[in-house]
Chains A and B, each alone.
Chain A
């Protein structure tokens, strides 16, 4: 791909995007051999009393500038849209990611690539993606990204490289009125460089069984680690924690979305506290710590530890 070639694609993308009435402006920010960035100024419909303030109650502006990243395979792969840095992250249908990266909206409840090619012409694919972006921003402004009449909606995680396979129904069934946790036996697989971080080059899969484990000090098989070349497998334990009831006796309800930005253990504990699961999670970690103390002199093997907090959300 020559720099000129991707630049031309960027210009054509901008022209197609500008045909949408709500796209009020735009510009090609950069274009080189490997990528191009195009900014689009999107007019966001929002409730009249918020529109006059220029910003919605959820923090969406009347005009949002969105960056579209065209990769080296564009137009054979769809553009990727990024929102501005300060865009609110406590919304559903945002891809999870650290605060150091701009937020990404999840526009389609399906494969974006398939949707992009659904319309035959590239210009139509661009137009319809921009239309989904317009709708996404409008729904974000209204606080209506989730269709409440539908009940609940999964948020797709397109860029995660670590998957947990777990029986969601069994998790829900485990939850009782009092706070608690359940430790479940699991197996893990890690593919990639042992020193690498989970990402495009390192993939991890954790398969959680429905068998509870008591974190017994005498269970030598609780955690194990083995390698086969660049791959690693072993036993681990998965914690499913649920919140304590409130001092008033009422159940804890997670009524608002929290940004999916947890990247460190400390942030995980803080998030568990926010979800009312902190006590249960710490009980589990204390048990695990005791197990480790017993074996500190026996092993120095690494292990994988999946944790899951199950709040009672308004849409579940």
Chain B
């Protein structure tokens, strides 16, 4: 099994599958829209793509070892109820054939009530309900809980709501090294956010995009540790990145280093600047601290915008000025900047990087996928061959 990162084309949304060096899987967010489930629609069928990448357990259930929800927004959780089994694992139904989540990784916002300012979509409500069910299971049975009942909380909640379950809480700045409680030495993920609020005013903000979980993964490839660093931060905006740099810039800047960065908030301008683009246009300035937090590239690093195609217009996200800034971060080399939907349009397959002993390599499209648009034929029945 080759370790890999697949960034599925879900327009303005996130859906990333990390396959670890031991074959375990970590899914980060989903955005499986109705159009993607419609076989008569051209929207990439990301659910089928995901299912093709997963394995079944001894009971015939497709599963992910971990599902991380960065934050409960529609473009990060759509499709949960349609495609994932929720409830006790014993209630999984063969006819439904939904994907079992062995272990949830959830932001502590599941302990908070939705309000008029932060309404939750139905899938987000379902996530929160399932998370609370699993937390109760832990309170009842502790570490006797089985795959399908397990959960980790990414960060402590306010007001001591997580104080009695600290065994399943990952504290800020600490690392996770086990997926579904299996510690195989194949990855490490450092929790960089959500950050604690520093004021009541900030507390209001923390229930929106600023509450996104930010993790910096270090992945083994081909048996070699730390072959790929992947920084992913949901929809975290400029204030969070600025604070991260203030916290870690002097002593722990390496915690933010990456080979692959998933641009926060789908290449939004609001992740890089406090200035309004619509008011200031090209006079709007990038926040230097936030930029520094997002600039800790390792040699040859690439940046990926999980978004619809980026055009030179006022759309935001994705924002063309933000794209320019990210390209500048990777040395002005636009070959090192990817957009998930553009990649799909160009190559007809999901953008994927393989993590090997030799390093991180972009996966080439299959011959059939390349030949179809190039030569105007529907498909060719050839598999890549070994060399002679």
Contacts and interface: CB of A to CB of B under 8 A. Distances in A.
Contacts of B161: none
Interface centre among B259, B346, B358, B384 (most CB of A within 10 A): B358
Contact of B385 (A52, A109, A121, A138): A109
A143 B358 contact: yes
Contacts, number: 117
A156 B299 contact: no
Interface stretch (A129-137, A171-179, A209-217, A307-315): A129-137
A105 B370 CA distance: 22
Interface string A193-207: 000000000000000
A150 B382 CA distance: 20
A107 B387 contact: yes
A49 interface: yes
Interface stretch (B24-32, B315-323, B361-369): B361-369
B223 to A, nearest CB: 11
Nearest to A156: B388
Interface in A104-162: 105-110, 112, 115, 118-119, 121, 123-124, 127-128, 131-132, 134-136, 138-139, 142-145, 147, 150, 153-156
A108 B385 contact: yes
Given A21-B346, A124-B375, A127-B371, A49 B359 contact: yes
B183 interface: no
Given A105-B387, A109-B387, A127-B374, A48 B302 contact: yes
Interface in B176-226: none
A55 interface: no
Interface of B: 259, 298-302, 331, 333, 336, 346-347, 356, 358-362, 364-365, 367, 370-371, 374-375, 377, 380, 382, 384-388
A279 B63 CA distance: 58
A138 B388 contact: no
Listed from nearest, the 7 A-B pairs whose CB atoms lie closest are A47-B359, A48-B300, A19-B374, A156-B388, A52-B300, A49-B300, A93-B387
A144 B300 contact: no
A45 interface: yes
A138 B364 contact: yes
A112 B301 CA distance: 37
B361 A47 contact: yes
A268 interface: no
A142 B331 CA distance: 24
B228 to A, nearest CB: 9
B382 A135 contact: no
B356 A142 contact: yes
Contact of A155 (B298, B331, B382, B388): B388
15 contacts: A21-B365, A47-B358, A48-B301, A48-B360, A57-B358, A108-B386, A108-B388, A110-B385, A127-B370, A127-B371, A127-B375, A131-B367, A132-B387, A144-B358, A155-B388
A106 B347 CA distance: 26
Contacts of A20: 370, 374
Contact of A109 (B300, B361, B374, B388): B388
A51 interface: yes
B329 to A, nearest CB: 13
Contacts of B385: 107-110, 115, 132
A22 interface: yes
A128 B367 contact: yes
A166 interface: no
A183 interface: no
A145 B336 CA distance: 25
Contact of B387 (A16, A49, A145): A145
Interface in A189-240: none
Contacts of A92: 387
A134 B375 CA distance: 17
A46 interface: yes
A124 B371 contact: yes
A127 B375 CA distance: 9
